[in-house]
Structure 1
Amino acid sequence: MSVPAATVPIVAFDAHALLVLIASPGDTVEERDAAERALHGWNADRAQREQVVLLPRRWETHAVPRLGGRAQSIINEQLVDESDIVIALFDSRLGMATGEAVSGTAEEIQRAHEAGKPVHVWFSDEPIPRNADLTQVAALREFKETVEPLGLLGTYASPDDLVFKVRQAIESDLAILELGPITRRKPTTGAVLRARYDYERESYIDNRGKTKYRTRRERIVVQNIGTATASEVELSAAPLGEGDAPSTLADETPTIIPQADFSWRIFPSAGDSRSIKLTMSWHEDGRERSETQDLSLS
């Protein structure tokens, strides 16, 4: 006898969709992954509340092969011209010349900047790899000198550091873009709880004299975006994709009125999963209710 599949409730909301191009040479796979992880993490934590969804774009996954023009020109047409924001990353390579610019990434930066799009450029602060192409290192240094007069350039100490800086840049862009209001759907009746991950960063000097960054004061913030009060709110979590039973995150069981929030301080160890399935349980009008949400802690 077949068993019908469980119905998974879908939470729909209206939002602005922003295309974010991640532009970089071929030696920055980890950095591109980190930037994409930052965008997905922002979506998980903020998309519904801000009514904005960030859609990462990378040439290796979103450029469509096509004959009839210069390869970089086709990428420009498909990705650069359609993007709303451009994130450019460099490690120890500049890339190959295109005939129009010193590299494909350089051409993408120039084209997006000339079109008036927000463009963020970061260079790695990590030690140069021993097998690095010194010709490429020198070309990258020269390119950096040519773009410095155009604005403020950024640096990153590691892919994890880049996650924080990409999210910070997105917040700045949204404040400047002024996307305007979205026609909202009719509010859902009852309490509706949505969680996000929040944290602070501090710098320190390591034993090599280099500036590093670490996360401190990590919190899970739960907002009640519904129309009813949620009483005795309790959080429990389990690593995402694993079979572990949920564990209670904190002893506090606050009451959260509509449009208010409450934050729980968390103290994850180095071995804890950075993606969790969060369960929020509460009482509402004498009934017990709960919701689950996948949450990225990065």
Structure 2
Amino acid sequence: MVIVAFAIIRMKDLFAVVMLLGIYGLISASFFIVMDAVDVAFTEAAVGAGISTLLMLVVIAMTGRKEKANRHKPFSALFIVLVTGGLLIYGTLDMPHIGAVDAPIHKHVAPRYINDSMAEIGVPNIVTSVLASYRAFDTFGEVVVIFTAGIGVLTLLSVARRKESEEEISSINDSMHEQHLVIRIVAKMLIPFIFLFALYVQFHGDFGPGGGFQAGVIFAAATILYAMLFGLSTARKVINQTFIQLIAAIGVLLYGSVGIVSLMSGGNFFDYNVLASDPIAGQHLGILLIEWGVGCTVASVMIIIFFNFAGRQELHQQKERVQNQEPS
């Protein structure tokens, strides 16, 4: 990881930097697997090496592949990074050793989660029990933050697109089809399975690594892959942007509604026990609903961010095409 980090610093080719960042994310995921943090590794692989790489490739398409030299002096920034890194390393000196039985985390709430979560929640995956039930209010805040970020991007980058003729869009898609025929055929074969895997991760998070966050990112990555290979104009015919924005809001609303229903049923906020006659069945129902809300919001926000970033580049390219086609 250190070698890759230094290579990223030295690289001037931004495309190579993005690829190295993806490799860094995969190495980080492998590190988390070694630490037995499989859920964290899953998230790092999906977000750090997956969706982030795709979004940065879109940014490179808008800004350029090569870094311009002599635009800034990195010494002050390097000094700040070194000081911050030194302070962080100094702060770790008082931390307990990895796996130490006398670590504070093993004496606080961890024994309660490990020993009692199966009887109280009825979910084999303790991480899901903690995030979706014990700390459901914190997770709700994270979902609201993601939704707010999507609204911010939509507000800042949303631009009015000029309607182009169907003939021009068809001709562009035909030329792209001829240039990327093999890639498109392979993508058509893979995308349905990616969507299927996203659904598996969504509904299997109670029993193994996964959940709404990972499933939403995987679903969005498949959609972005389709848009990158077949063009935004074609993707907009398949994916209605207004509907995607509505789904993002519905996901947050669904999550919050579970807490409100819990209150109205006589329990605490996000107390799933009152959602059914059997407390365990109520926990399963509550976790299923809020995870579905998380998946809808995460996937929709990622798609919104991509389409708004890439839409600006597409608008610029379409203007250039029109100018080149106009007779001088």
Class of the TM-score when normalised by the shorter of the 2 chains = under 0.3
Higher strand share: 1
- Of structures 1 and 2, the one with the larger relative CO (CA 8 A, separation 6+) is 2
The alignment's TM-score, normalised by the length of structure 2, stands at 0.24
Normalised TM-score (structure 1): 0.25
